[in-house]
Amino acid sequence: MPELDRYLDQITRETISTGIKYIVLRLRRTRTPDMVAIEHLERFIRDANKRGVTVLLAGVHPELATILHNVRFYEWLPADCIYPEKEDIYSATLEAVRHAYSLLNRRDDVKEEKAAYYLV
């Protein structure tokens, strides 16, 4: 878990220091995380949301989608924040990035576009 926490902490610091409002986490290689990893992910997303940062999960495998459903992510994380894995590599990630840009372009207070990409 220290490695996951290090990545999530780095992302948190960068969003705070730069004002980034949309994060796309590519989870294509995440199959069946344990409950500790799910708890860390949930805490990260909830904390980001409190700071006005939207987290989009891209490349979510059916197994991970089932876990997220079982732990009731659907009760607080909107469905349009989860992008299931597709046959074409990066296609779910590209959909999530396009969605983030469409959300960014709808904001009235945007002065300049900022983007950061992380593969987790």
Tens digit of each residue's pLDDT (9 = 90 or more) over 45-60: 999 999 999 999 999 9
At residue 118, does pLDDT exceed 90?
no
Burial of 59 from C-beta contacts in 10 A (0-12 / 13-18 / 19+): buried
pTM comes to 0.82
What share of the chain in percent tops pLDDT 70? 86
- Output the CA angle 81-86-91, nearest 5 degrees: 70
